């Protein structure tokens, strides 16, 4: 059986959603980042990077949300979780997820999770950078209603995680980001997403 290591509300929620959308038989194991469980020898033996998500499959461990999406989409093609049959569209899918992972996640993470918390000019600068990344998704990448137009893909669950963070931090202004707000509401309304939120002990935001 597949086994996912995740942390509630963190970026691993995207892989949790991917599993739920895939219909796979899986077990989800919570790793409490606040308690440092991601740095225990037991967890580092699973993912030496000391971060979640990590997905244990029959052949080993897969890390990185984007790689987990590809594995699940190719394993369960009948669920149409990504455009696996079209090499160009699959490259676009990977590019979008790469942008979330390499630009949106670190920019928002700096605003929300810097310890000690950022203040003054340093915070304003970090907020401006994060808003710029979200603006690029709003203006140029989100085709609407889903990331790739008419069909849900696993990129939608990934984007939703960062939209949740932004809304919770009051950074997702409805006037400036109408597309992202609509996308967040649409994605949180999916049955599979609702099951994942409940399993992680969270509400829609």
Ligand X SMILES: N[C@@H](CCC(=O)N[C@@H](CS)C(=O)NCC(=O)O)C(=O)O
Nearer to ligand X, 51 or 196 (CB): 51
Tell me the residue nearest to ligand X as measured from the CB. 51
Contact range with ligand X by CB under 6 A, out of 6-14, 21-29, 79-87, 117-125: 6-14
Give min distance, CB of 71 to ligand X, in A. 13
DSSP labels for 10-48?
STTHHHHHHHHHHT--EEEEE--TTTTGGGSHHHHHH-T
Which of 2, 4, 17, 33: binder of ligand X (CB under 6 A)?
33
Give min distance, CB of 63 to ligand X, in A. 6
Binding mask 82-101 vs ligand X (x if CB under 6 A, - otherwise)? -------------------x
Closest CA to 29 of 42, 100, 21: 42
Which of 46, 51, 171, 193: binder of ligand X (CB under 6 A)?
51
Give the list of residues 6+ apart from residue 33 with CB closer than 8 angstroms, or none: 7, 10, 52
Q: Phi-psi bin for 196: left (phi > 0), alpha (psi -120 to 50), beta?
A: alpha
Strand pairing report for 54-57 and 26-30: unpaired
70 touching ligand X, by CB under 6 A? no
CA gyration radius for the chain?
17
Phi (first) and psi of residue 180, to 5 degrees: -65, -40
52 touching ligand X, by CB under 6 A? yes
38 touching ligand X, by CB under 6 A? yes
The residue ranges that bind ligand X (CB under 6 A) are 7, 10-11, 33, 38, 50-53, 63-65, 101
């Amino acid at each position: 059986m597949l086994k996912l290591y995740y942390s509630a509300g963190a970026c691993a929620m995207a892989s949790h959603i991917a599993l739920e959308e895939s219909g796979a038989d899986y077990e989800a194991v919570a790793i409490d980042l606040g308690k440092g469980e991601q740095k225990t020898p037991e967890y580092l033996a699973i993912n030496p990077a000391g971060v979640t998500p990590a997905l244990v499959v029959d052949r080993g461990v897969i890390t990185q949300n984007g790689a987990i999406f590809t594995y699940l989409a190719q394993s369960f093609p009948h669920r149409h979780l990504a455009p696996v049959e079209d090499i160009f569209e699959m490259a676009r899918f990977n590019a979008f997820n790469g942008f979330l992972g390499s630009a949106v996640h670190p920019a928002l993470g700096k605003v929300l999770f810097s310890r000690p918390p950022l203040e003054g000019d340093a915070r304003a600068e970090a907020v401006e950078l994060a808003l710029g990344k979200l603006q690029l998704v709003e203006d140029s990448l989100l085709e609407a209603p889903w990331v790739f137009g008419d069909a849900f893909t696993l990129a939608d669950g990934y984007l939703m995680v960062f939209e949740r963070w932004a809304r919770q931090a009051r950074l997702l202004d409805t006037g400036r980001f109408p597309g992202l707000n609509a996308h967040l509401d649409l994605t949180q309304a999916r049955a599979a997403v609702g099951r994942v939120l409940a399993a992680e002990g969270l509400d829609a935001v």
